[in-house]
Structure 1
């Protein structure tokens, strides 16, 4: 190219660089909210920034990257349209006020102190979010015990966690559930475009922030996990509505269309109530219109609670455990039956199981595939309260000899528990046969509810609490 051609090409290249810098400034503004700081370091798929050192650490200095360099892979967010928000609120609330309670607004993923006896455990608290937190806890336990590489053994794997390991375990559990909800081909992570810096005062109904959601879609599980790990404070931090963001991520990963197919007429997923009284509908509440959404306002002197509709709760738990939001899946209702016996569950068995026991007789039993997961970790629903039961021997459910006398551990998620409960299960003691004619709730047969839940998997087993007073 002659000198004249060079002179003509130079302005073109300069204009291109200027244009790219302009685009970079535009995206910097979009990503400038907390938890989504723009980072000029390329983002490796499946790798969290938690494991990287300062920029340039351990590397020989090289030429500076041009200003137009963009993190790769760059995941461009999309907002939520009014139509999508309306459909989402219909699934969640139907005709109830489309607003989350203060309890839900405050709920986030909070671990016990690092390097403590319960460092692996989320604090599940009370109320409608407990079932979701307990289900995530089951996935966290599975990862820490059976997939994480560490020199620690048994319970040491769980209690020696530092803050970074807690965040990594949470990111892995969230990514696993979102990926399963997406059918093993996609995951959607929901974040908000502005941080929530203050907690709602007592009695205040937190307003909807659906219009501020940004959806980040991933087609590789490792990339989704790395992204969640990089922005884990959006789920762990106080005031960030972490549980709500995860619930939204779960629903969008499944897609609203497939959710509607799964649920059928089982909506809403959430139920607004005050004690035992259902709140009035939107039509009888004073409302304000904000950004295209109807935001009800209430008497601030009253307390309202947001619970999960019983069938909706089963659908949400099914989505967390199986990747499908089918209300009957946990009890063998509308969900697909994996087989007649435990050994026939085959490919239907997931990494986390489910056990349930109620004082009142249940018409539907938990399916064999959920009672016998691939790994010995169960989400337990005991008299309506959710907790996690687990073993540390990965062979427990694959070798019948291991099921004669074995050990299980129990975590309730409540503040009263300071150590993991150690249970010994004996499936070969037959002392109960002496009182076979007595009913399961008769004085001679009455046992702690958790023991009854364990017997739904191992009928007639004896359970020793090893010196701990039964508390569940």
Structure 2
């Protein structure tokens, strides 16, 4: 294994930096919609967190959707501390990068970018905001089934008001958000985008609950009963107690289904004493992929059924992957949209790794056959967790750490 300076870069201590809220003028008040009922408030909390009689962990109430300052490095990235919202934010981050790098880039007739791709990773504040509401719209619309040509698609977004509709009781513990929601239905992606653009400030507010609002929108758009069916009894609720959250939250954002199964299609599992039962995995190729490496730590793998991604997640439509590396969530991406379509492009290429804590590293992946491949395999023992995760996609690749020392954030090692 080759590494720059014979060692992996070490990220500096995580320090989250928030951009200043620059919303000009008066912010639009939340008007219209339907007030949440006591039954739905309890069902929403139970589906997400397993109970309505205890409040969700405070991080869900106090983690907004904030981009890094546009005049500093990593302006394409979300900024958030390490907590249980990471599995959700990594999925959203991947879609932000998708829009900035690929969806918004003008292309020539021969499918080449007009400007250098790296220039799209330095968005100004206006493009940051557009990337954020477009990414939120895409994941919510996917949860509603909007990209599967389903009839009567209905995306649901819940926004907080100043009114309380569910009182505190032994059955329902108020959290300051859920019991104050108004629900808004949208039957087209365009209407959803206009709505989220208008009320984006509620997701961005530094003292707000942007992560919780996005989680609720995904659950409501999928439907509480459907989310429970997706989990297939592997979990009884969506958000796990793991430090950075559950992969089920990530699959909900990537595929629109909170499936714990990462294989392609449907597999039937049974034995001689039980009927074979279907396990619904990833039903179609995802625009954004997922790579998983569990590691060897009992604290990470305890009570976790090890599911490994099939080709529909390993080889997505675009070269962007959410990563779960020993329980730590991040995003791997390449700036060349042809990477997974062109054999020559995939022989040797650079790949970026980013986490919402601000860790960024640049690696070179070389998949060509080498005379010293045997020694490369032997060196796998000393490879970092991030390198081992990359090897789940490119098995025998040589990996070289390159680029500048990572910007402030949490380490991928």
Structure-2 separation of matches of 1:409 and 1:437:
23
Structure-1 separation of matches of 2:188 and 2:138:
11
Partner of 2:132: 170
The alignment partner of 2:29 has SS state of coil
The answer to whether structure 1 residue 461 and structure 2 residue 393 are counterparts is no
Give the C-alpha shift of residue 251 in structure 1.
0.4
Give the C-alpha shift of residue 412 in structure 1.
2.1
The answer to whether structure 1 residue 79 and structure 2 residue 35 are counterparts is yes
Preserved contact between residue 171 and residue 229 of structure 1 (Cα < 8 Å): yes
Q: 1:145 aligns with which of 97, 101, 111?
A: 101
Structure-2 separation of matches of 1:236 and 1:391:
27
TM-score, scaled to structure 2: 0.76
Give the C-alpha shift of residue 269 in structure 1.
2.2
Preserved contact between residue 99 and residue 208 of structure 1 (Cα < 8 Å): no
Give ranges in structure 1 of 5+ residues lacking alignment.
Answer: 1-33, 39-74, 197-204, 273-305, 339-347
Give ranges in structure 2 of 5+ residues lacking alignment.
Answer: 1-25, 107-113, 147-152, 165-172, 268-278
Structure-2 separation of matches of 1:337 and 1:121:
27
Structure-2 separation of matches of 1:336 and 1:106:
32
The answer to whether structure 1 residue 355 and structure 2 residue 291 are counterparts is yes
The answer to whether structure 1 residue 329 and structure 2 residue 288 are counterparts is no
Partner of 1:371: 314
Give the C-alpha shift of residue 192 in structure 1.
0.7
Give the C-alpha shift of residue 215 in structure 1.
1.0
The answer to whether structure 1 residue 154 and structure 2 residue 117 are counterparts is yes
Distance of aligned partners of 1:131 and 1:363 in 2 relative to their CA distance in 1, 3 Å threshold: closer
The alignment partner of 1:464 has SS state of strand
Q: 2:344 aligns with which of 383, 392, 401?
A: 401
Question: Counterparts in 2 of 1:413-452, with a 5 A limit?
Answer: 413-415=356-358, 417=359, 420-430=360-370, 433-435=373-375, 438=378, 440-441=380-381, 446-452=382-388
The structure that has the greater radius of gyration is 1
RMSD value, Cα: 2.8
Partner of 1:37: 29
TM-score, scaled to structure 1: 0.67
The answer to whether structure 1 residue 255 and structure 2 residue 238 are counterparts is no
Distance of aligned partners of 1:162 and 1:389 in 2 relative to their CA distance in 1, 3 Å threshold: same
Structure-2 separation of matches of 1:77 and 1:467:
49
Question: Counterparts in 2 of 1:71-470, with a 5 A limit?
Answer: 76-95=32-51, 97-149=53-105, 152-159=115-122, 161-184=123-146, 185-194=153-162, 207-265=175-233, 266-271=235-240, 313-329=246-262, 334-336=279-281, 348-360=284-296, 363-415=306-358, 417=359, 420-430=360-370, 433-435=373-375, 438=378, 440-441=380-381, 446-468=382-404
Preserved contact between residue 122 and residue 413 of structure 1 (Cα < 8 Å): yes
Structure-1 separation of matches of 2:251 and 2:158:
20
Preserved contact between residue 248 and residue 260 of structure 2 (Cα < 8 Å): yes
The alignment partner of 1:465 has SS state of strand
The alignment partner of 1:226 has SS state of helix
Structure-2 separation of matches of 1:190 and 1:214:
5
Give the C-alpha shift of residue 257 in structure 1.
2.2
Preserved contact between residue 193 and residue 213 of structure 1 (Cα < 8 Å): yes
Distance of aligned partners of 1:239 and 1:93 in 2 relative to their CA distance in 1, 3 Å threshold: same
Preserved contact between residue 354 and residue 379 of structure 1 (Cα < 8 Å): yes
Give the C-alpha shift of residue 250 in structure 1.
0.7
Preserved contact between residue 244 and residue 327 of structure 2 (Cα < 8 Å): no
Give the C-alpha shift of residue 317 in structure 1.
1.1
Output one character per residue of 1:88-140: Cα deviation in whole Å (capped at 9) or x when no partner.
22212334743123322210111111132211100132110111111100000
Partner of 1:294: none
Distance of aligned partners of 1:460 and 1:241 in 2 relative to their CA distance in 1, 3 Å threshold: same
Structure-2 separation of matches of 1:189 and 1:268:
20
Partner of 1:28: none
The structure with higher relative contact order (CA 8 Å, sep 6+) is 2
Give the C-alpha shift of residue 153 in structure 1.
2.2
Structure-2 separation of matches of 1:246 and 1:262:
19
